[in-house]
Amino acid sequence: MRTALISDIHANLEAFEVVLSDIRDRGVDRIVCLGDVIGYGPDPCACIDLVQEHCEFSLLGNHDFACLLEPTNFNPIAAEGSYWTREQFEPTGEDLDKSSTARRQAFLHLMRTHAILDGDPDYLLVHASPRKPLSEYLFPEDVDNAAKLAAAFGPMPGRFAFVGHTHVPGVFAAELDQSRTVSVDSLFEFEYANELEGPFELDTLDGRLRFIVNPGSVGQPRDGDPRASYAILDRSSENPRILFRRLEYPAERTCEKIRREPRLADRLGTRLLTGE
């Protein structure tokens, strides 16, 4: 079974279409989305529609939550983007297609905060972190913060977790302590996806390692590489493998759409050109 893991589309239709086309070309069995389908970008409705059409399910991200209910702890640019996004999901006087509006709202309401893939506890899926599925950022530099990572890994029911949220693709590994749990005595590492030469093998050795995998962001990469990012999980061999994919897309088109919408800050478009 090959599963495409996508995350943080952020209403970027141009990036999402390129990713979907690549997924089709690679003969993947299914697509799951780790959340933040909307927020920041100019095409929330089209992106929700495509997720609904192509993904087995989508988790709830903090931006989906913000647009559905209310932005909390958002900077002013992100908050205004959320309010604008929410209005795109409201039926208006001229809206002749009320069924689409209702369907999109229902889809947002049904998003879950976490999932266990195929009922296998080794595969936990959340938007942000196992400890705080909606809000906690796990940054590469957190490998120097053993207390934070130990607490974040703690609630994992099995060996692997899959998260988005930071928009930085790569893999955290934790080597268990002497009592075979993740604690502040564990060793933590992060491998950047862009520095990998081939697929990353989730080497389970004799059960001494735990992994948290981030497929990166489809629609707003932040690792200095503006290409859209996603990953394919292949569970056909003994050690599961992760293939990270990076794809060019016409970011200047998305940037121009954002520039034309006065309530979306220009910076939300220009950052797409540099991946920052």
Asked if residues 256 and 43 have their Cβ atoms less than 8 Å apart, the reply is no
State the nearest-atom distance from the C-beta of 8 to Zn ion, in Å. 4
Q: Alpha-carbon distance 164 to 141, whole Å?
A: 16
Residue 130 or 216 with smaller CB distance to Zn ion: 216
State the nearest-atom distance from the C-beta of 82 to Zn ion, in Å. 12
Residue 154 tokens, joined: 């703690």
The answer to the question of residue 234 lying near Zn ion (CB under 5 A) is no
Residue 63 or 104 with smaller CB distance to Zn ion: 63
State the nearest-atom distance from the C-beta of 77 to Zn ion, in Å. 14
The answer to the question of residue 43 lying near Zn ion (CB under 5 A) is no
Handedness of CA 123, 173, 192, 12 (dihedral sign): positive
Contacts of 247 (CB under 8 A, 6+ apart): 15, 18, 19, 22, 227, 228, 229
Stretch that binds Zn ion, among 4-12, 24-32, 184-192, 204-212 (CB under 5 A): 4-12
The answer to the question of residue 8 lying near Zn ion (CB under 5 A) is yes
Asked if residues 200 and 242 have their Cβ atoms less than 8 Å apart, the reply is yes
Kindly report the CA angle at 135 between 133 and 140, in degrees rounded to 5?
95
State the nearest-atom distance from the C-beta of 69 to Zn ion, in Å. 16
State the nearest-atom distance from the C-beta of 166 to Zn ion, in Å. 8
Residues 141-160 that bind Zn ion (CB under 5 A): none
Tell me phi and psi for residue 155, to 5 degrees.
-75, 5
Contacts of 80 (CB under 8 A, 6+ apart): 263, 264, 265
Stretch that binds Zn ion, among 14-22, 33-41, 52-60, 65-73 (CB under 5 A): 33-41
Residue 65 or 202 with smaller CB distance to Zn ion: 65
x-or-dash pattern for Zn ion, window 201-230, by CB under 5 A? ------------------------------
| Residue 219 identity (one-letter amino acid) | G
DSSP tag of 217: -
Q: Which residue is nearest to Zn ion (CB)?
A: 36
Among 22, 36, 136, 142, the residue binding Zn ion under the rule CB under 5 A is 36
Q: How many CB atoms lie within 10 A of CB 80?
A: 16
The footprint of Zn ion on this chain (CB under 5 A) covers a number of residues equal to 2
Residue 46 tokens, joined: 């089209």
| Residue 142 identity (one-letter amino acid) | D
Interface ranges with Zn ion (CB under 5 A): 8, 36
